[in-house]
């Protein structure tokens, strides 16, 4: 059966932290082997990354070890946004096929190309932990979308290193200072969940004229005029939400009869032009695509996460074995009135605090049949016993 063990330490000394976290993670596996181990380090532990790898390899003898340095570490029911923190997540995955890889950028013939793009054997899910400096993360995700259509990619951009070349991306016995590390998982029961948590404003409108990432017309009218109309019709409460950040929600699957939670890809509004009436957003758009304006909202985010977990986890018997959580660094205490919001909700849904992850500068997860780089989301990989469910469900 699938088993997951998690350990978390807040010790300042790296040696003490890795010993404590590894021992607790090991106890969660019983006598089962550590097929997959992930370790997440706060910046206070980056100098000791080599010692962390050595201790985990000696203590757990994992078939595959991966990890990174992150600005905030998540483990059990806690979200250590400021550190120090070290989390170890380990899983026994009987019969699973685990394929690790490292991607970097190299210069070839005066061009920058991606090196190390994997050739995976029929994966059910791909985990991806990326450095923010130099690597075109969305290009990597797009490649995985094309090569493995419908297979979810889950993970995040690890921003904890703070400067180029300072990251510690861990893969088995190696430590890389840039690029991305990833793992293809096959013959394992795992589901991807994405919770975006934005409140819809106004109604849907079809893009009728566009250039690149600029929406020029919505339903035959200048896009800026449409946006002003939507904002003008908002209640006082909704206007307060809009003042904290408007987003453009783009429908991914136009074949659905109606659109609701989980059907929109959220992108920031970058600017507007009075002369053209256009609105620039953080994604290329096309004529015929449906758009609806949204606003970041803690209450909606909390409800969206609960619904997503209810749909994926609550009615499963037995309960899932554990999960990985990648939460935006704009969530946590910056969004919610309480600490540990996302981790507690996930732990409650799992029935046990068998989870770990980190705060990201961009989260990776699926919307519809494709994976994207998100902001202000919580993306999750939830592990079940084999035979209980298949991979690839999203919210």
Q: What is the pLDDT of residues 107-142, one digit of tens each?
A: 787 787 999 999 999 999 999 999 999 899 999 999
The pLDDT score that the predictor gives to residue 388 is: 53
How many of the other CB atoms lie within 10 Å of CB of 266?
A: 22
SS3 91: strand
Q: Which stretch, 106-120, 146-160, 191-205, has highest mean pLDDT?
A: 146-160
Q: DSSP code of 280?
A: E
Average pLDDT estimate for 136-163: 95
Strands 278-281 and 264-273: antiparallel
CATH class assigned to 199-296: mainly beta
**Residue 207: which residues within 8 A CB-CB, separation 6 or more?**
215, 217, 218, 285, 286, 287, 288, 289, 290, 291
Residue 98: half-sphere exposure toward Cβ, Cα within 13 Å: 20
Q: What is the pLDDT of residues 206-227, one digit of tens each?
A: 999 999 999 999 999 999 999 9
How many of the other CB atoms lie within 10 Å of CB of 53?
A: 21
**Single pTM value for the model:** 0.93
How many of the other CB atoms lie within 10 Å of CB of 369?
A: 14
SS3 content of the chain, % helix, strand, coil (to 5): 25, 40, 35
CA distance 326 to 12: 23
CA distance 156 to 164: 17
Strands 246-251 and 290-296: antiparallel
State the angle between helix axes of 341-350 and 298-309 in degrees (0 to 180), rounded to the nearest 10: 20
CA distance 3 to 274: 57
Q: Where are the alpha helices (DSSP H) in 201-287?
A: 223-232, 236-243
Query: What rounded mean pLDDT belongs to the chain?
Result: 93
Least confident residue range of 66-80, 249-263, 276-290 = 249-263
Residue 253 has pLDDT above 80, yes or no: yes
Strands 97-108 and 111-115: antiparallel
Least confident residue range of 73-77, 149-153, 183-187, 365-369 = 365-369
66: which strand partners?
38, 171
Q: DSSP code of 138?
A: H
Q: DSSP code of 177?
A: S
CA distance 184 to 329: 25
The pLDDT score that the predictor gives to residue 228 is: 95
Q: How many residues does the chain have?
A: 395
Among candidate residues 86, 5, 97, the one with its CA nearest the CA of residue 321: 5
Per domain, the residue ranges of the chain are 3-195+301-383, 199-296
Among candidate residues 226, 207, 225, 206, the one with its CA nearest the CA of residue 215: 207
CA distance 385 to 92: 10
Beta strands in 131-225 (DSSP E): 153-157, 169-171, 174-176, 180-186, 190-195, 198-211, 214-218, 221-222
Average pLDDT estimate for 90-103: 97
Among candidate residues 299, 222, 291, the one with its CA nearest the CA of residue 252: 291
The pLDDT score that the predictor gives to residue 254 is: 83
Buried b / exposed e along 164-179 (16+ C-beta atoms within 10 A): eeebbbbbbeebbebb
- To 5 degrees, how large is the angle CA 111–CA 115–CA 116? 170
């Amino acid at each position: 059966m699938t088993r997951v063990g998690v350990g978390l330490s807040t010790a300042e000394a790296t040696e003490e932290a890795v010993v404590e976290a590894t021992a607790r993670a090991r106890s969660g596996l019983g006598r089962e082997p550590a097929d997959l181990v992930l370790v997440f380090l706060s910046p206070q532990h980056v100098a000791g990354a080599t010692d962390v790898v050595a201790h985990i390899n000696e203590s757990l003898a994992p078939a595959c070890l991966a990890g990174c340095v992150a600005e905030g570490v998540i483990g059990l029911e806690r979200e250590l946004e400021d550190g120090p923190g070290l989390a170890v997540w380990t899983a026994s995955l009987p019969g699973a096929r685990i394929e690790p890889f490292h991607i970097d950028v190299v210069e070839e013939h005066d061009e920058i190309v991606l090196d190390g793009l994997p050739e995976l054997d029929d994966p059910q899910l791909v985990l991806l932990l990326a450095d923010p400096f130099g690597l075109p993360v969305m290009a990597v995700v797009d490649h995985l979308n094309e090569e493995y259509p419908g297979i979810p990619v889950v993970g995040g951009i690890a921003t904890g290193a703070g400067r180029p070349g300072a990251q510690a991306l861990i893969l088995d016995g190696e430590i890389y200072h840039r690029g991305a590390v990833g793992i293809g998982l096959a013959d394992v029961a795992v589901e991807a969940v994405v919770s975006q948590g934005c409140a819809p404003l106004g109604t849907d409108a079809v893009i009728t004229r566009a250039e690149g990432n600029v929406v020029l017309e919505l339903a035959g009218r200048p896009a800026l005029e449409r946006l002003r109309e939507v904002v003008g019709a908002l209640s006082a409460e909704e206007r307060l939400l809009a003042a904290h950040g408007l987003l453009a929600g783009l429908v991914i699957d136009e074949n659905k009869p109606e659109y609701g939670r989980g059907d929109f890809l959220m992108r920031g509004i970058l600017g507007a032009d009075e002369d053209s009436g256009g609105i620039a957003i953080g994604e290329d758009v096309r004529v015929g695509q449906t758009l609806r304006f949204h606003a970041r909202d803690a209450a909606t985010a909390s409800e969206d996460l609960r619904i997503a977990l209810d749909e994926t986890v609550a009615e499963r018997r037995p309960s899932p074995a554990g999960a990985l959580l990648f939460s935006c660094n704009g969530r946590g205490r910056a969004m919610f009135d309480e600490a540990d919001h996302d981790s507690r909700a996930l732990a409650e849904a799992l029935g046990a605090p068998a989870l770990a992850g980190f705060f990201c500068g961009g989260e990776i997860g699926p919307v519809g049949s494709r994976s994207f780089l998100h902001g202000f989301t919580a993306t999750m990989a939830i592990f079940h016993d084999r035979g209980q469910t298949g991979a690839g469900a999203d919210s």
